[in-house]
């Protein structure tokens, strides 16, 4: 006689949580960080995958995980900012986009908590530059739709471990130890600190950029009332030289 144990909501939730965490942990992290005049976002990417992108003036989005899911969420956020029913003067804040009925919390969280729907394999950040480093907004939204707000910098992608030895913890520790005056940094120094923090989480045998896999350095600069600026190849050359000299 075969005994059927039945369906356990708790076990299924734990199974999908472990699965999503493992998948997201494979993606290389993104750092968003305050500097004197705005926010800088740094990661490595490839020419065909856009991990860092503009949402609206003074607003930027980045994601790690399944690229199809990242693109789908980004398209949804683009549609929100085109509507005029939320926000004053057609200008959306990061908080409004987070809390909107079609915003990050709902579209990611509802997929995760609906046991019959595939969860989004993503870890994302939403940042807003106010022009005053004290008021810049940083939100990370994990695969459950839960937002984390931090001051001055935030990390998405990589692993988290209970012993504080995951990728995220290593990067955060490096930034806290070496970037105590982020609001006084020039943007090139903020980029260098971001590169150093990211490389601090990989082994000595690894390289930050593997050109044979078409990996590229992806840097976004966000300033008040401006769309996200992504550095071109000429502007990136100094940072490639910095990487080679580390």
Q: State CA 92 to chain mean position distance.
A: 19
pLDDT (0 to 100) of residue 189: 95
Q: State CA 26 to chain mean position distance.
A: 14
Half-sphere exposure of 200 (CA within 13 A, CB side): 20
pLDDT (0 to 100) of residue 46: 84
Each residue's pLDDT tens digit in the chain (246 positions)? 555 556 677 887 888 888 888 888 888 899 999 999 999 999 998 877 788 999 989 999 999 999 899 999 998 888 888 764 444 455 778 888 888 888 889 999 998 888 888 899 999 999 999 877 888 999 999 988 988 888 899 999 988 888 878 899 999 999 999 998 898 999 999 999 999 999 988 877 788 888 888 889 999 999 998 999 998 888 899 999 998 887
Q: In whole angstroms, what is the distance from residue 235 CA to residue 244 CA? A: 16
Q: In whole angstroms, what is the distance from residue 112 CA to residue 85 CA? A: 27
Which of 231, 229, 233, 236 is CA-nearest to residue 60?
229
Write down the number of H helices and E strands in the chain. Answer: 7, 10
- Is residue 51 within 8 Å of residue 184, measured between CB atoms? no
For domain 29-245, say whether CATH 3.40.50.1700 is its number: no
pLDDT (0 to 100) of residue 64: 92
**Cβ count near 140 (within 10 Å):** 23
Read off the DSSP letter of residue 213. Answer: G
pLDDT (0 to 100) of residue 86: 44
| Cβ density class 78-105: b for 16+ within 10 Å, e for less | eebbeeeebbeeeebbbebbbebeebbb
Q: Is the dihedral of CA 145, 148, 154, 160 positive or negative?
A: negative
pLDDT (0 to 100) of residue 89: 52
pLDDT (0 to 100) of residue 234: 87
pLDDT (0 to 100) of residue 43: 95
pLDDT (0 to 100) of residue 171: 94
| Cβ density class 159-195: b for 16+ within 10 Å, e for less | bbeeeeebbbbbbbebbeeebeebeebebeebbbbbb
pLDDT (0 to 100) of residue 85: 44
**Cβ count near 6 (within 10 Å):** 5
Q: In whole angstroms, what is the distance from residue 30 CA to residue 63 CA? A: 8
pLDDT (0 to 100) of residue 59: 93
Q: In whole angstroms, what is the distance from residue 231 CA to residue 218 CA? A: 8
């Amino acid at each position: 006689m075969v005994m059927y144990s039945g369906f356990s909501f708790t076990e299924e939730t734990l199974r999908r949580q472990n699965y999503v965490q493992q998948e997201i942990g494979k993606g290389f992290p993104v750092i968003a960080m305050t500097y004197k005049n705005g926010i800088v976002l740094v990661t490595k990417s490839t020419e065909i995958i856009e991990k860092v992108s503009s949402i609206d003036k003074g607003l930027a989005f980045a994601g790690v995980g399944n690229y199809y899911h990242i693109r789908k969420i980004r398209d949804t956020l683009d549609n929100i900012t085109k509507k005029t029913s939320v926000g004053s003067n057609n200008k959306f804040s990061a908080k409004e986009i987070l809390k909107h009925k079609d915003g990050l919390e709902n579209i990611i969280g509802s997929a995760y908590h609906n046991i019959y729907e595939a969860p989004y394999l993503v870890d994302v950040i939403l940042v807003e530059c106010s022009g005053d480093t004290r008021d810049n907004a940083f939100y990370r939204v994990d695969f459950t739709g839960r937002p984390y707000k931090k001051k001055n910098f935030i990390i998405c992608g990589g692993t988290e471990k209970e012993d504080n030895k995951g990728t995220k913890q290593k990067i955060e520790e490096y930034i806290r130890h070496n970037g105590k005056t982020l609001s006084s940094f020039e943007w090139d120094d903020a980029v260098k600190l971001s590169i150093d923090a990211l490389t601090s989480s990989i082994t000595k045998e690894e390289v930050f950029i593997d050109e044979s896999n078409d990996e590229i350095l992806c840097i976004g600069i966000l300033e008040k009332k401006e769309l996200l600026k992504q550095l071109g190849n000429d502007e990136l050359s100094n940072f490639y030289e910095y990487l080679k000299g580390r």
